[in-house]
Structure 1
Amino acid sequence: MLGKRQHRGEWGVVPDGAKRNYGSRRFEPLPTPHAFWYLALCALVVTGCSSDGRTPLVIYSPHGRDLLTLLERRFEQLHPGVDVRWLDMGSQEVYDRVRSERANPQADVWFGGPATIFARAAADSLLEPYRPSWAGAIDPHGRGRGDLYFAAYETPVAIVYAERALKPQDAPQDWDDLLDPRWRGRVLIRDPLASGTMRAVWGMVIERGLKATGDTAAGFQWLRRLDAQTKEYVLNGPLLDQKIARQEGLVTMWDLPDILLNRRDGLPLGYVFPASGTPVIEDAVAVVRGARHRDAARAFVEYVGSVEAQLLATREAYRLPARLDLPADSLPAWARDVRRSMKVADVDWDLLAERGAEWMRYWDEHVRGKGR
């Protein structure tokens, strides 16, 4: 049996025998060849049901072990006939995999990632309409056209620094501070091509330049200057966190829930909300078109946005709920503090959904590694 990974992550396939001793499986990513994980997944899903007779519910998600395990256990308590199985990977990787499997869908639910990527999936006919009962409790912009996806959480991005090396006042306080010569060779970046979080930040930068100058050149020039500062584009989020904690780099940018979970677990990471504003990602959920277990998939989407699940994720996994009808005093102190202190950037998410893939291709071909 393959070894179990010990950190939150965004790659490969691992059956986790530690979950139960009667045959239920969970999948997690490791950096294995695509053919290996695809064949392993197919072999497990094709069985059609758990060894104990329950209905398997396959979820693709970037949300990591903490949140996925939390919701898995509670959902299975509420639905004892369902065996939740999840694959943890970057949200762009989820999109790529769902698209490649469209003729023979393996996933039932896509749980997590920017609504901009879900909008692309909707345009590609990869999602199935389903309107949960809580749809009216979220912002209208968080409701995908045709009821194809809905925002479940709001995910802010923060500037992150090595807490043992830098005092809070010495860390970058805004996006442009990352271009200061003092940070040259000390910036680490999660590889943007596989990460919906980083695609959202890159899109914000390019769109900001477009608003100011009428052209995307200003944004790409900013990213070229950041490229000159960057020591490494890191394979996944957990590795990024570890490298900053070990001071292999001193500063980065990453999503707030992951940083708060790592701080809870003892990693010396500090964070700053950029003074000019930070993108707050509409983190969505959807039923995959052609899902083999449609009823279970719809029940999971219904559960994710329920008051119980929203508060559970907020209190235990540092997720800001997308629901607008939760009383402020029901939220933990950290969530109230974030909403008070964070300035939300004005981002044209519809434009990012329309042009983001094109911008990322240009960045990869003409900016990555060219700033030095």
Structure 2
Amino acid sequence: MRLSTLVASAAIALATAFPALADALTIYSPQGGERAAWIAEQAKAAGHDIKLLNAGGGELFDRLLAEKNNPQADVVLGMVDTSMALLKKEGLFQAYTPTWAKDLPTQFQDMDGMVYKFWQTPIVLAYYPDKLPVAEAPKSWLDLTKDQYAGKYVIGASAWQTTRMYLAGILVRFLDTSGEVSDEGWDFLSKLYAGAVVVNDADSQIEAFKSGRASIDLNWLGGTFKLAKDLGAKVKVVESDGGTPVISEGVAIMAGTDQLEQAKAFVDWFGSADVMAVYAEKFGQVPLLPEALAKSPVAVQENAKLVKPQPIDWDAIAPKLDGWLQKIELEIR
């Protein structure tokens, strides 16, 4: 899920569709680039005056906490399970049930009525068969520390949502009886980083594959397909032993907003089946609403069945993830 570069100041200001005296609805989201532009364009066409502040998921999370006593956002859109769970726990959100929420599968509804999920994203292990023959490809995330894969896979910045999620997916395989990562798990992660091409920005990530150094992609599904398209190469997704981390992204209204009615209207519009189906057609994302999925292209419906989800209790992981990432940054990376 690297959905943007870390540019916290980047914002898309739209021409107002409401009366001149009304303030634009400020939305914090890791949705960047073409996706941010699409959301802005569609929102404007639907009569929503928004200002979209885009940055990496980790940076936005920190910013939201820093602004807790003086919130600047009205809506948070597109952050992953763990981040949304922690922000809710900090009291940043208020209850609101979108008009479309009643049709969501139960596991994507929030029992507190604050955070509702709208699409899901597998965080995949993939490879390029023109560089790595099928018979030699990894069968699992745990295969990556084998000698033959050294220097062939890329680990992104820990501020990227995608990186955070696959690292979490790996570490939960090594939880001890107390729910903490075992020494074996940290040893594995040290070996994983030692054999990786470690990058901090999108250009370096792409260059690692263009140069021929890398042939294994650790990425969110849409990012894997986009990278393959940019490289003009075919990519194959691994049905990993032990499953594939699958995350969902949510939307919530900030407790401190002074534009509650505009925020409710935007959330009702954005998560609706029709908007999600159009988004799925445009970007290949898998919507969670059954009606939206049924309206999505066949390829998107097939992607919904592409991998077996890894069993992960994201709510249980959420309070621990920052500590894990801090240890990675200070002791391993």
Q: TM-score, length-normalised on structure 2?
A: 0.87
**What is the rounded CA distance, in whole Å, between the counterparts of 1:162 and 1:342 in structure 2?**
17
Give aligned pairs, total.
Answer: 329
Bigger shift: residues 58-67 or 147-156: 58-67
Change (3 A) 1:226 1:336: same
1:157 Cα deviation after fit: 0.8
C-alpha spacing 1:93/1:274, structure 2 compared with 1 (3 Å): farther
By relative contact order (CA 8 Å, sep 6+), the higher-ranking structure is 2
How far apart, CA to CA, are the structure 2 residues paired with 1:134 and 1:184? 46
Looking at structure 1, the residues matched to 66 and 121 of structure 2 have their Cα atoms a distance apart, in angstroms, of 27
1:348 aligns with 2:322: no
Q: Offset of 1:15 from its aligned partner?
A: 5.9
Report if the CA contact (8 A) 1:49-1:56 is conserved.
Answer: no
Q: Secondary structure at the match of 1:284?
A: strand
In the alignment, the residues of structure 2 paired with residue 238 and residue 204 of structure 1 have an alpha-carbon distance, to the nearest angstrom, of: 25
Query: 1:196 maps to what in 2?
Result: 161
| Superimposed CA distance per residue, residues 206-239 of structure 1 (whole angstroms, 9 cap, x where no aligned partner) | 222126997522322221110111132x224565
Identity %: 23
> For residues 105 and 268 of structure 1, do their structure 2 counterparts lie closer, same or farther at Cα, with a shift above 3 Å needed?
farther
Q: Deviations over 1:54-103 (max 9, x none)?
A: 64122221222222222222221121xx4322222221211111111122
Of 63, 70, 74, which residue of structure 1 is paired with 2:38?
A: 70
Is 1:174 the counterpart of 2:140? The answer is yes
Deviation of 1:195 (Å): 2.2
> In structure 2, what is the equivalent of residue 300 of structure 1?
266
Question: Structure 2: where are the runs of 5+ without partners?
Answer: none
Letter in 1 for 2:100: W
Residue 45 (structure 1) aligns with: none
The equivalent position to 2:279 in structure 1, one of 313, 319, 325, is 313
State the SS of the aligned residue for 1:147.
Answer: coil
Aligned to 1:147: 113
- Which of these residues, 221, 224, 234, is aligned with residue 256 of structure 1? 221
Question: Aligned partners of 2:265 and 2:34: how far apart in 1?
Answer: 21
Q: Which amino acid is 1:68 matched to?
A: A
Confirm whether residue 10 of structure 1 aligns to residue 8 of structure 2. no
- Superposed displacement of residue 181, structure 1: 0.7
Q: 1:158 and 2:153 equivalent? A: no
Q: How well do the aligned residues superpose, as a CA RMSD in angstroms?
A: 2.9
* CA distance in 1 between partners of 2:35 and 2:269 (Å): 14
Matched, 1:227 2:183: no
- TM-score, structure 1 normalization: 0.78
Aligned residue in 2 for 1:44? none
- Superposition map of 1:1-372 within 5 A: 9-12=4-7, 13-14=9-10, 24=14, 55-79=23-47, 82-162=48-128, 165-192=131-158, 194-210=159-175, 216-217=181-182, 218-232=184-198, 234-237=199-202, 239-264=204-229, 267-268=232-233, 270-276=235-241, 277-326=243-292, 328=294, 330-368=295-333
Paired letter, 1:62: P
The CA deviation string for residues 221-280 of structure 1, in whole angstroms up to 9 with x for no partner, is 221110111132x22456524532443433231111222234455554624134221011
Gaps of 5+ in 1: 1-6, 17-22, 26-47
CA contact (8 A) 1:8 1:238 kept: no
CA separation in 1, counterparts of 2:261 and 2:248? Answer: 25
- Taking the aligned partners of 1:103 and 1:323, their CA distance within structure 2 comes to 34
Cα deviation 1:286-321 (Å, max 9, x = unaligned): 112212433222222212210111101111011110
Amino acid across the alignment from 1:252: D
Shift in Å, 1:170: 4.0
